[in-house]
Structure 1
């Protein structure tokens, strides 16, 4: 396995009176796409939000490039975590509907205060991935379709190079053609050695993109290994996920 970029060791997370993560151990290798799979309520979104510092780990530790970024004694400081080169695309997309597509992109860029300061070569690459964003550049983001909003959410996360992307169910509710656009975007990011931790229910996307896979159940990682090995083992899929990936390809 490649050198780990992100590691979670025995991470527990409480949200109010609820104990959601129960000792999560997770390794995300550098330069690969790691799929985070599991049934609804398994703790996948809580894991991403804990990594990003939106919820504080009550015990355990989180390390990025070997440096501690979370756990008791380490403040859950989302801006500080983002400054390390970690971007998060939440399931609700997190775009600003009253702002234009352009304004959303500028807000996401740390090195630009206006559109003219955006990296034009990178912007052209993003437009190549998501042509609709160029077409609707000056439109309010709230008027975009659901698929276009998801494209914008991903584009915001990659408007500048990031070392690690945390992405929560990007294909949810999208048409197959738009899902293919997203798959191609993540393939190109992986080719650029961007590391991705991807929560996804679309098994075709998981099979197409995943190098590694971690399966969660009841707030714990109950399986980790290669995505190819899981995809080839119907019995393991049924036991861990309650479905056959081949039947949903």
Structure 2
């Protein structure tokens, strides 16, 4: 897939501010997420990356600015978007906390995420097999309580729930955090397959090898603002820019 910035944005934030209580977290975020590409959102801890995803999903209110989908305004300070609104728009969110239901089985967690399925027999068998190909542990523990899974297996389940149906946009917060290298590789392969299907992804990630291998575009945040947008390939090749924007070199985080 081309890394060209010419792809039209599926999602766009224009001057978005977010307050959480008395705290002003996002300070006029301008972000374009091209359709059919993987955009990485990078930055130091506390830069505002998770707040950006949560604001897009309607979990936090926009206090100024606007959110646009396919160049249509869907949310601003006067028009609050909600998570059900965004789900109806074909958007899935995988939070860093994973958000799985510990007392339910893996199967039941997947069924809840599949809006068109009322029972296990309604699940898309071909899509399930595709998911099992990347995350075979989910097949093995299909009827087990999700709370009994290991941390890595829970992360697999959280991502798999977002993939159980085709989505227009995936918002994913640090999917590789704490995972063993073999599981990270499976995650990379799953997202690479989504790229081939032209699924749009906005990904917060601290594993820079993961970011380099998957990203088409990159946006870097600092102090609640976007301070750089460009191609992932250009950032990956420019150690001086990496150090200036992130305080480190990608080569030191392989």
If the length of structure 1 is used for normalisation, what is the TM-score? 0.99
8 Å contact from structure 1 (residues 109, 160) kept in 2: yes
Partner of 1:203: 208
What root-mean-square deviation, in Å, do the aligned CA atoms of Structure 1 and Structure 2 show? 0.7
How far the C-alpha of 1:76 sits from its partner, in A, is: 2.4
How far the C-alpha of 1:65 sits from its partner, in A, is: 1.3
Secondary structure of 2:10's match?
Answer: strand
- Alpha-carbon displacement from aligned partner over 1:171-218 (angstroms, at most 9, x marks no partner): 111111111111011001111110000000001100110000000000
How far the C-alpha of 1:116 sits from its partner, in A, is: 0.5
- Of residues 72-81 and 142-151 in structure 1, the stretch that sits farther from structure 2 once superposed is 72-81
- Alpha-carbon displacement from aligned partner over 1:60-85 (angstroms, at most 9, x marks no partner): 00011122222112122110111110
Partner of 1:227: 232
8 Å contact from structure 2 (residues 62, 80) kept in 1: no
The whole-number CA distance in structure 2 between the counterparts of 1:104 and 1:68 is: 32
Structure 1 residue runs without a partner (length 5+): none
Q: Which 4+ residue blocks in structure 1 deviate beyond 2 angstroms?
A: none
Select which of 134, 138, 141 maps to 1:133: 138
8 Å contact from structure 2 (residues 96, 174) kept in 1: yes
Structure 2 residue runs without a partner (length 5+): none
Secondary structure of 1:126's match?
Answer: helix
Aligned length: 249
1:161 paired to 2:128: no
1:59 paired to 2:64: yes
If the length of structure 2 is used for normalisation, what is the TM-score? 0.97
